[in-house]
A and B are shown apart, each in its own frame.
Chain A
Amino acid sequence: MSFTPDIQIFCCHYTSQQAIAEGADGLKEDGLPAGATINRLPCSGKLRVSTLLKAFEDGADGVCVVGCPADKCHNVTGSQRAAHRVLAVKKALAELGVEEERIEMHHLERGFHPEFIDAAVAMNERVMGFGPSPFKDEETPAEKAPKKAAKKPAKKATTKAGKKPAKKGGKKK
C-alpha cells in the first residue's frame, strides 16, 4: 500500500539535540521520513499514557519515544518511566486488536548519532507494512485537507504533552 505514514516522535531535550541543531532541512537530508514529526519534551519521563494515546487519536500511524539510556537519564529514572508507559500503551493496543509494534521505546545516547534517524526510519518501514492506523477517520480527502493545513509541526504536540489534566466539572470530547 502506498501512503505516507504519520510518525510521531516524542523525545527528550537531550536526545533531540540533533533535531534542534540540524533543523527540518538537515533532518530531511539525513533521511528522516517525510511524515515524521518531532515532539520535544523536557524529559521522556514527562510523557503520559494519555498523550501517547492522543497521538493515535490525532491520526498517528506509528509512535516512537526516544529517551536517554536507562541508566543515564538526566532525571535519573525519566526514560525508565517512559518505557513503562510505552509498555502500557502496547498492552492497550493489543487489547484493542491493533499491532502493538506501532509504538516503540528507544534508549539513545544524547547528541548527534544516526540511530535517532534509524529509529524513525524503522518505524516508518514497519508501519508501511502494517498499513494506515485502524483508528484513522474515514474522511474524504476534501475533508482531510483543511485539517492537514491547520496542523502545526513539533511545537503543537510538545504543548499537548505538557497539558494539564481534566478540568473540574468534566471535559467533553
Chain B
Amino acid sequence: MIIAERKPVDEIVEMVADAKRVLVLGCRGCVSVCSAGGEREVEILASLLRLGCKKKGQKIETIEATMVRQCDKEYIEAIDQWNGQYDAIVSMACGVGVNFIANLRPNDIVYPGVNTGCFGGSAEQGVWTEQCAGCGNCVLHLTGGLCPVARCAKSLMNGPCGGSQNGECEINKDVPCIWQAIHDRLTRTGRRADLDKVAPIRDWSSAGHGGPRKVVRDDLTV
C-alpha cells in the first residue's frame, strides 16, 4: 500500500487561512489502512482545523467525508454533491488523490492533508516499512523476493557494499543489509547460483527518470 502521514496541523491551518468552508476528504484506500487519511483521521483533522482556526480567531466550517478512492474519475465526480458548500478541499488521500482532484476539478482549490511517503507494509501495529520503490522493472525473481532498489540504501544491484557489517547497514543499526538477507535467503532455498548472474547497468527510465510514467492496456481501453 501507499504509506502516508498526516501533515503537521499548523501547516494545514496555514494552507486554509483564506477558506471559510473546508471539505476534508478522506480515502478508504491505502491511507485508510495505514491510519493516515481514512474516516477516523478525517474526523480528527477536521476537529484540529476547527481548533487551530479558533485559536487564531478565524471562523471555519468543515464538511467531513470519505470517498471509496480518490484515484478514480468516478469517485472524484461525486464531489459534485458538495458544490457551492466549500471554499477549499483538504484531501487526505495520497498525492495521487490530490492530483486527481486538481486534474478533474479545474476550479477547485485543493490542498494535501498528508505527506505521501512510500510503498510499504505494516511491520507491526503502528509501524510501516518501505518494501518497493515502484521502479517499473522488477528484479525480485533474481533476489529471492527482497528488493535491493527499495531496501538497499544505495540501491545496489550486484551485492552489498563495504558498509554491510554483521547483517546491518552502515546508515543505521536498525536497518538490515538487504543484500545480506538476499544472500542468506537464496542460500537457504538452494538458489545461491542466482547471485552469479551479473546485473547489467540498469536502465532507470522505467523508474520515472524518463518523465511521468503511463501504462496503457489496449485490452481494457474503450
Q: Which residue of B lies closest to A93 (CB)?
A: B51
Whether the Cβ atoms of A48 and B47 lie closer than 8 Å is: no
Complex partner residue of B82 from A135, A137, A166, A170, CB under 8 angstroms: A170
- A94 to B90, alpha carbons, bound, how many Å? 21
Count contacts on B: residues with CB < 8 A to the other chain: 28
Interface of A is mostly: loop
Complex partner residue of B47 from A57, A134, A172, CB under 8 angstroms: A57
Within 8 A of B (CB), among A128-148: 134-135, 137-138
Total inter-chain residue pairs, C-beta < 8 Å: 71
Against B, the Cβ 8 Å flags (1 = close, 0 = not) of A34-56 are 00000000000000111001101
Within 8 A of A (CB), among B145-178: none
Q: Which residue of A lies closest to B79 (CB)?
A: A170
- A166 to B39, alpha carbons, bound, how many Å? 7
Within 8 A of B (CB), among A53-75: 53-54, 56-57
Q: Which residues of A contact B10 (CB under 8 A)?
A: 95-97
Whether the Cβ atoms of A165 and B39 lie closer than 8 Å is: yes
Q: Which residues of A contact B51 (CB under 8 A)?
A: 53, 56-57, 96, 135
Whether the Cβ atoms of B55 and A134 lie closer than 8 Å is: yes
Stretch of B63-71, B136-144, B187-195 with 4 or more beta carbons under 8 angstroms from chain A? B63-71
**Residues of B with Cβ closer than 8 Å to A?**
8-10, 13, 23, 39-40, 42-44, 46-48, 50-52, 54-55, 57, 61-66, 81-82, 85
